[in-house]
Structure 1
Amino acid sequence: MITSQSTPGTTPAHHPAGDPPAVRIPAHAPVAHVERGGLVEGVHHGSVVVLAADGGVDFQLGDIEAAFYPRSALKPLQAVGLLRAGLPPLDDEALALTAASHSGEERHLATARRILHTARLTEDDLRNVPDLPYGAAERDAWLGRGLGPSRLAQNCSGKHAAMLYTARTRGWRLDTYLDAGHPLQWELAAAVEELTGQGIARVTVDGCGAPLFSVSLHGLTRAVARLATAAPDTHEGRVAHAMREHPEMVSGTGRDVARLVGALPGLLAKDGFEGVQVAALPDGRAVGVKIADGADRARMPVTAAALARCGVDPAVLAPFATAPVLGGGKQVGTLRAAGALAAPHAPGPAA
């Protein structure tokens, strides 16, 4: 876990949940092809894990045990950690925003303001990096109003508002809540280790300025499966319920993750920068995806192929299974899962 002596880039000193994953260059494998005019124009490499309902590995490709940074896919675990650390009860929309990479819609900003107001705080107390709204339409509208980067508009503001609320509730310093040695971050690291079942290999700083903990893709996927199967009255179950009920608070209107949750009721899903995606079905079947080059365009087609190996109906996954490759404004090819991931396989239980 993080200790007061830990600094970004160092290895935490104590791992009660188990050994940390190995720090190495991941041995990724081909997971997606970009086809244009009948030729494979590009190949995306990555790693994929598919877990059975009993937690066993049903399928793996690439390197699922190497240490990596989950980026925003870690937020559901951090949300559980905030509840464990003393975050006061929030309604489901606000709790969903705590685990969000939101688009910057007005409802997202209003909910973040509401969390801050309840904690007797304002946007000025946030320490995340100012940014424009993440959603393209929201960003254009924001700029059209002559507005610049804002801490509230930045896609992690819900998490940061909840961090501040927790710190205020516990009587901890507010101005240093993003320091790796802050008691709040120590508590969040402990939750990540317990949920993943492994120690944290490295600590660095995420794009928003918060500490970022490295685990393995296998460990992250195992943790998300735990949330998906948790009893409703647990912290894990509360976070999972809020995210399932309000997927557009976790992402935004029309975002692919929100559409995927809408197509698969009961699915728990979260994306992360640099091509990370996790998703878990209510019975514990789960998938984890990391695209090696960080390309977002390959994330969802690879995730759809992985969910097909969980037994999800391919017809339901069809809108997510490919992405068009354009030439002259028309489709001239397709991005789709490839290699061992796309090989024929026996279907599992239907979702």
Structure 2
Amino acid sequence: MSQSSTTLPPHRAPGAAPVVRAPAHVPVAHVVRGGLVEGVHHGSVVVLAADGSVEFQAGDIEAAFYPRSALKPVQAVGLLRAGLPPLDDEALALVAASHSGEERHLATARRILDAAGLDEAALRNVPDLPYDPAVRDDWLRRGLGPSRLAQNCSGKHAAMLLTARTRDWPLDDYLDPGHPLQRDLAATVADLTGQGIARVTVDGCGAPLFAVSLHGLTRAAARLATAAPGTDEGRVAHAMRTYPELVSGSGRDVARLIRAVPGLLAKDGFEGVQIAALPDGRAVGVKIADGADRARMPVTAAALARCGIDPGVLAPFAAAPVIGGGAPVGTLRATAALTPHGT
């Protein structure tokens, strides 16, 4: 799908697509063992002020990159714009989810499919085991194998099918980038990020994945977080804030972060991507270059500290222990350059 083939809604004309280049990432996290820096994670970070201006940046926030599942809240807005029928907040939260495969996640995905008069067989995402290790172990003990419903993106796919059924669009090829549904989603991505789409590829679940910049993705997060109640953006934000365990899972770090910071909207993505935004428009975006999930949350906590969030609230997220011989011997934390006071 070329950029010129995308028909945009009348909300906002996007700017130019971000440049495709090798990102100029910088050190953003240190792995310290026994007082020595044992490892370094590179990446890029952007912090937006309430007025949308860039308050802090590190690395390359303008290069094209793939947001992975951090884009799901934007896609959820796109589904509402495309005609997704009204859903309760739990179901709408699951539409934006990378869920753990818990029974409440599967039951909610089934409800969305039921609304379309469909079952799991209609899904075209990749069969997988539940994402959460404990849930996965129990799944295997029960003799169950990979399932499309258990795969972490099944809520989004179920909503895609419900939208297509509502609009009387074809169902079998709903993942084709040229499908009317995917063209509408691309238009929403361009609108909310404020920029054109640099590339279209296939995400891990099989859905089209749109390349934007880290700056553009963070701008979109801020637009959702500040949206008025009742708007499509506001409905998605409200559902995610109300049911963070539906967006991720019980005990997952993103759910705990949303619960810890009042009004926060947050979503993670594979390959070390994280967005978080506050109701006043302050927002952060993080990309860990090597895709290491272990560095994602400590770097996000450092970025949120630059938004004025209480360090005590962020303390459980700001560092991860480095283990030696079964005991902590160091920490993984953001580099001094990212912390508000350079400590």
Question: Normalized against structure 1, the TM-score is what?
Answer: 0.95
Conserved 8 A contact 1:30-1:339: no
What residue in structure 2 maps to residue 267 of structure 1? Answer: 264
**What CA distance in whole angstroms lies between the structure 2 residues aligned with 1:233 and 1:297?**
36
Paired residue for 2:4, among 13, 29, 35? 13
Q: CA deviation at 1:339?
A: 4.2
Paired residue for 2:115, among 104, 113, 118? 118
What residue in structure 2 maps to residue 179 of structure 1? Answer: 176
Instruction: Report the AA paired with residue 163 of structure 2.
Output: T
Q: What secondary structure sits across from 1:191 in the alignment?
A: helix
Q: How far does the alpha carbon of each residue in 1:277-317 deviate from its partner, in whole angstroms, 9 at most, with x for none?
A: 00001101000000000000000000000000000000000
Instruction: List gaps (5 residues or longer) in structure 2.
Output: 7-12
Instruction: Report the AA paired with residue 299 of structure 1.
Output: R
Paired residue for 1:155, among 121, 135, 152? 152
Percent identity over the alignment is 81
**What CA distance in whole angstroms lies between the structure 1 residues aligned with 2:73 and 2:140?**
30
**What CA distance in whole angstroms lies between the structure 1 residues aligned with 2:112 and 2:184?**
20
What residue in structure 1 maps to residue 191 of structure 2? Answer: 194
Instruction: Report the AA paired with residue 12 of structure 1.
Output: Q
Conserved 8 A contact 1:12-1:203: no
Instruction: Report the AA paired with residue 220 of structure 1.
Output: L
Instruction: Report the AA paired with residue 245 of structure 2.
Output: E
Paired residue for 2:306, among 304, 309, 330? 309
What residue in structure 2 maps to residue 281 of structure 1? Answer: 278
Paired residue for 2:136, among 132, 136, 139? 139
Conserved 8 A contact 1:225-1:284: yes
Q: CA deviation at 1:340?
A: 1.6
Q: CA deviation at 1:13?
A: 2.7
Q: What secondary structure sits across from 1:341 in the alignment?
A: coil
- Alpha-carbon RMSD across the aligned residues, in angstroms, is 1.1
**Runs of at least 4 residues of structure 1 off by over 2 A?**
11-16
What residue in structure 1 maps to residue 47 of structure 2? Answer: 50
Q: CA deviation at 1:118?
A: 1.0
Alignment length (residue pairs): 337
**What CA distance in whole angstroms lies between the structure 1 residues aligned with 2:168 and 2:35?**
62
What residue in structure 1 maps to residue 125 of structure 2? Answer: 128
Q: CA deviation at 1:342?
A: 2.6
Q: CA deviation at 1:233?
A: 1.0
Instruction: Report the AA paired with residue 67 of structure 1.
Output: A
**What CA distance in whole angstroms lies between the structure 2 residues aligned with 1:176 and 1:343?**
48
What residue in structure 1 maps to residue 337 of structure 2? Answer: 340
Q: What secondary structure sits across from 1:188 in the alignment?
A: helix
What residue in structure 2 maps to residue 227 of structure 1? Answer: 224
What residue in structure 2 maps to residue 36 of structure 1? Answer: 33
Q: How far does the alpha carbon of each residue in 1:301-337 deviate from its partner, in whole angstroms, 9 at most, with x for none?
A: 0000000000000000000000000011100010000
What residue in structure 2 maps to residue 26 of structure 1? Answer: 23
